Structure 1
Amino acid sequence: MAGNIPYSDFAYVYDKLMYDVDYKKWADFIESIFKKYKQNPSLVLDLACGTGSFTIEMAKRGYDMIGIDISVDMLNCAKEKSSHYENILYLNQDMVNFELYGTVDAIVLLMDSLNYILYKKDVKKLFKNVHNYLNPGGLFIFDINTPYKFKNIFKNNVFYDVSDEITYIWQNSFDSKRNICEFDLTIFTKENGMYKRMDEIHLERCYEINDLKKMVNESGLRLLNIYDDLKFAKAPSNAQRVFFVCEREKL
């Protein structure tokens, strides 16, 4: 995640909160995109890699991976989980202003991490940076929470989840004028028979699909397609997550 101040305590409960995310399914979908567009990348950059779960899944499949995240604590968790993998390099950088020593074959930005970028100027900067570090013909794949999700699912709702190890209460407040959604999280984790409380505030920006299309094109990247959540289908009007597949044009 980037765009906000990194959250040190949050890093160590992140995987427990994301227990229902099927990283193998996400990796299957990303690989199917590579195959669909006849790409066989060797070196892949995972921007805003968090605790490295997706990075590790791709490393298991033989890809050389670079994981970038702004949070040192997230990267510490990632390194601990991936100590057996020599084909992963982690870098502590902001996803907007990342720097590499060379170019890569593919870049992914997943788990609605782009929504954490609160200003259009920074999204434009990110896209330009992706263009600079992507090999000709390489793919850039990112997903977003859709305007429908912000306006109809998140809006001003409250969500919660209760388990033996971790419990959270998630209160949302969506400002339609600023297109900013504030997530107010209260988390309780069980430690030595007692519960520790954590409070987090996260912000995401709602981006219109057409605005992102324009920014992609202005960056020099070429938009190949937009897909529904983890499937090769046109996203319906009530889609909650969509994937953009972009290409740096071949020489």
Structure 2
Amino acid sequence: MYDVNYKKWADYIEEIFKINGVKPSLIADLGCGTGSFCIEMDKRGYDMIGIDLSPDMLDCAKKKSEGRDILYLNQDMSNFELYGTVDAIVCLMDSINYLLYVKDVKRLVKLVKNYLNPGGLFIFDINTPYKFRNILKDNVFYDISDEITYVWQNRFDSKKKICEFDITFFIKEGKYYKKYDEVHYERCYEIDELKKIIAWSGLTLVNLYHDMTFNKPLAKSERIFFVCKNGG
């Protein structure tokens, strides 16, 4: 995630707030990772709650957030628990795709409905079916730089709708490079499938947007944003 422009993401989310006429104070970030988005939003005056399953990620987030009043919770985002309701909930950077079972997505969205104040927004994005089938499928990606080099190989099972990412990193530590191997899995969700889950939960789907724009999704959109509201 070293190349992610979190300021741009925060600008985009704030614009969604503005378009929908909401001014949230307390925001929960599901799948917050190392806290970069939480920190960017905290800088802008929002009260942030970051939720992630990985203790290592949260340890990093706490170190990066030293001196900031951000609450981090070590919880499964598909089974999270808050102390009260919040004004907005986000789940960004295709975190929804990391939930490999429909039942987990349904539970997450139902919990969002439960913890979201009336009129509050739930914003999330996904890697689209087009991206899984045409961009990620069985392809190899790599990036070479002085500090970090990675090789990323994918295998997509079209029947199970699961994509396996095998990633090898070479990260510079002092004079030498250390090798790290990771395996990630994402599930391909159909747009209509997610629409039905949103309707089932009681949330209202307000808009679908093409990647970081306010345009309608295209047939070849690789990322789509869902904007949902608690109430009509």
TM normalised by structure 2 equals 0.98
User: Partners of 1:164 and 1:20 in 2: how far apart?
Assistant: 14
User: Partners of 2:174 and 2:16 in 1: how far apart?
Assistant: 45
Q: Measure how far apart 1:19 and its partner are.
A: 2.4
SS at match of 2:27: strand
Q: Measure how far apart 1:141 and its partner are.
A: 0.2
Q: Measure how far apart 1:188 and its partner are.
A: 1.0
User: Partners of 2:2 and 2:100 in 1: how far apart?
Assistant: 26
Equivalent residue, structure 2, for 1:68: 51
Residue 88 (structure 2) aligned to one of 103, 106, 119? 106
Equivalent residue, structure 2, for 1:150: 132
User: Partners of 1:165 and 1:196 in 2: how far apart?
Assistant: 11
SS at match of 2:197: helix
1:219 to 2:201 alignment: yes
Residue 62 (structure 2) aligned to one of 45, 70, 79? 79
Equivalent residue, structure 2, for 1:238: 220
User: Partners of 1:94 and 1:164 in 2: how far apart?
Assistant: 35
Equivalent residue, structure 2, for 1:229: 211
1:23 to 2:6 alignment: yes
User: Partners of 2:64 and 2:179 in 1: how far apart?
Assistant: 24
RMSD of equivalent CA atoms: 0.8
Counterpart residue type for residue 231 of structure 1: T
TM normalised by structure 1 equals 0.91
User: Partners of 1:205 and 1:196 in 2: how far apart?
Assistant: 30
After superposition, where does 1:1-251 map in structure 2 within 5 Å? Answer: 18-86=1-69, 88-249=70-231
Q: Measure how far apart 1:84 and its partner are.
A: 1.9
Counterpart residue type for residue 211 of structure 2: D
Structure 2: segments with no counterpart, 5+ residues = none
User: Partners of 1:190 and 1:20 in 2: how far apart?
Assistant: 16
Residue identity over aligned pairs, in percent, reads 69
